[in-house]
Structure 1
């Protein structure tokens, strides 16, 4: 056996080991080159087999007859650019006359098989130009967020999409959102990533955790207000409604509607105000909405008061800089009056693994039937995998990187100095000393009883 054969065998063994144990390393070292060559060599035949070619134009046929040349072949979309990424390839195509972006999207599964890629997704960039993103391995199996992220005010990277791009929670584009998921589906990890991403920003966090605060109270140093029972939550939501009304009065006072002011400078929400006048935006996180909506009474004034306040915040809170992030296991009409009205205002939808099809329809039934089907197919062993969509009908399969409670607590403690003091919510500011003393007394009691 020659030295060259030995070296080739070792390289092949190393490539196989990397592909099994470290698919990301394999892709960067071997896979991206092989995949690019495979796409370029097979491109014409694959497009023809998938029906993504157009016949030659009449003038080309006529020219071929006049010059006695062979009949020109059908033409596939023209490749504008082939760009490798850390997770796959990005192919930008210029469509031929008569082709549509839907044709490429409909053939994405056939393209995946033909090019031997793990996944293929398509989107139209502009008229006649389509971007095909191909992933070389399962990026959701072991989530690693990109090193460079486009972080802006009120725009948080919370997860990774199946095409390898980061998934952002943009509050200025989608002010209110609903997150559903069964027990042990990864919903809490998604929420921790959201809080950890908001912690370094100039934003006030308000939490409502009716599970006695076990999810949000460990992060209390970064929260301006917290409620751990429905009674306190009702008062807190009323205080937020009062703040919203005060902010609207401020916007009206600063609208500057005169003939000398350009239209672009007329204030309609807090982001149109000058920096020194702009109120602090508020993100309200509700951990389990069913604990607020369910009641043992038929006509419960407290329950109606809570739902009425949430509906008002969802309808009017965007311009005042108040954004809702509502989580729960189910969100249907069985929770009582006003729930469907509230759900209609929650533009962003994220569904982790659910227990039945009805729960998936609560999130995506009015948006996309395909998203409903994708949500009920999430396996139980893939905790954290979710379907994210919005009212436009588009949806993506995402997975948040695992963030432990300790990691989230450390991030919140590190940015505790950014926690704003809001006068309207001062009565609901978490008492950190009492919380620590209570935990200390409980640990002492447990040690004595043990």
Structure 2
């Protein structure tokens, strides 16, 4: 009996430790909510003042306070840390706001983020400037990019869709109204197609015209044909589709000019320079053009193909330069996009404001994507491991960058979403000749295989 009691006393804690270790690896969110968060909160509360002092984030107290402490208690006056607000737990970490002491700036706290991470036992610490004198610490409890789960509450709108998860546990939102055109680079099996798949299916639920150019015979975009308003599967078809888009852009500019030429005395809100200022009943539907393997549009073998290439590149540059006001946006994907592709490649890349770089085969490819907007992000892109497909580095023209990862979405589920939302595709007569053929879905025959026979004696 004594042995059984001893075994129960030892086996219970060992089972709890083993279960916690398994949950930390297999279910990090559950482990954080039950074990990690209470421990981190206790560390933060117990060591807040000493940690801030060790990080150099404390300042001498005001003179009146120092005199009051000496007069009342005769104790030594200690430096004052930033005033801490309430600790708000989340499903992935903690949030706490700090009111900076006089003479401090957000960069001082950001420089100590790595020290705070080790002191409080969390995966990462990120600093966000809320308002003058106030910063927010976002403590992430575990690696949210290892097993991606999109945040539940993400506000989406027309042409504004969440696509991936950032390393600080927030959603990466693709906003075409803010960043009209984007370049997505990545080697084979890097997750570039998964990014494109998530983006396309998110847009499929909105009244947006989706157009695709897939020169790999349509193997990437053909499964979404039910939702696409136009699809080109080779350079010859792309050479016919691009002039139609340019013509549609010119027609939309004529519509905008007609609105600008209204009579004097018209209210200012009715004067516009893009389609978003038009009345809703006159506004044409926005168009998003997806180009998979853009290098296939540049590669030529004969003089005739070279002339076709120059014409297509010119039309793409026109769409990139002038398409935003007409509601036409570009999503250009490829493995490499450099000057060696030919004339116009660098000029087209300069028009693509957004940059997403997945794992690439060499440093030069990463520089093509991020070197001209966020040089520090190049090293982050080169460090992406092959065993984490979907992991990417996203940069913007402000020089900032962060890591993101796209959640897994099967091709069957994405195709089913496009079939279910096919009725949302706006009618655009200019693209009717390029609408892809969608084979009808076979209907299962509910009749029995064998014809029943009457029972005879």
**Fold agreement, TM-score > 0.5:** yes
Mean CA deviation greater in 198-207 or 133-142: 133-142
Closer, same or farther: CA 410–129 of 1 in aligned 2, 3 Å: same
CA RMSD across the alignment:
2.2
> 5 Å matches for 1:328-343?
328-343=334-349
> 5 Å matches for 1:45-84?
45-64=50-69, 69-84=74-89
Residues 87-111 of structure 1 deviation map (CA, whole Å, 9 limit, x = unaligned): 1111221111111111122221221
Matched, 1:351 2:357: yes
**Contact 2:149 2:407 (8 Å CA) reproduced:** yes
Runs (5+) with no aligned partner, structure 1: 438-450
Specify the structure having the higher radius of gyration (Cα): 2
Residues 423-445 of structure 1 deviation map (CA, whole Å, 9 limit, x = unaligned): 11111111224x999xxxxxxxx
The CA distance in 2 between the partners of 1:98 and 1:157, in whole Å, is 38
> 5 Å matches for 1:38-437?
38-64=43-69, 69-255=74-260, 260-297=265-302, 300-433=306-439
Closer, same or farther: CA 256–105 of 1 in aligned 2, 3 Å: farther
**Contact 1:125 1:131 (8 Å CA) reproduced:** yes
**Contact 1:32 1:88 (8 Å CA) reproduced:** yes
| 1:148 Cα deviation after fit | 2.1
The CA distance in 2 between the partners of 1:68 and 1:212, in whole Å, is 82
**Contact 1:206 1:224 (8 Å CA) reproduced:** yes
Residues 87-140 of structure 1 deviation map (CA, whole Å, 9 limit, x = unaligned): 111122111111111112222122111111111222212222212211111111
| 1:358 Cα deviation after fit | 0.9
Closer, same or farther: CA 261–15 of 1 in aligned 2, 3 Å: farther
The CA distance in 2 between the partners of 1:14 and 1:180, in whole Å, is 41
| 1:366 Cα deviation after fit | 1.4
Aligned to 2:31: 26
Q: TM-score, normalised by structure 2?
A: 0.90
Aligned to 2:446: none
The CA distance in 1 between the partners of 2:362 and 2:55, in whole Å, is 36
| 1:255 Cα deviation after fit | 3.6
**Contact 1:360 1:372 (8 Å CA) reproduced:** yes
**Contact 1:284 1:325 (8 Å CA) reproduced:** yes
**Contact 1:81 1:93 (8 Å CA) reproduced:** no
Aligned to 1:447: none
Residues 228-257 of structure 1 deviation map (CA, whole Å, 9 limit, x = unaligned): 111211221111111111111112222476
**Contact 2:70 2:77 (8 Å CA) reproduced:** no
Residues 48-93 of structure 1 deviation map (CA, whole Å, 9 limit, x = unaligned): 1111222223444455556673342112221123211111111221
Runs (5+) with no aligned partner, structure 2: 443-457
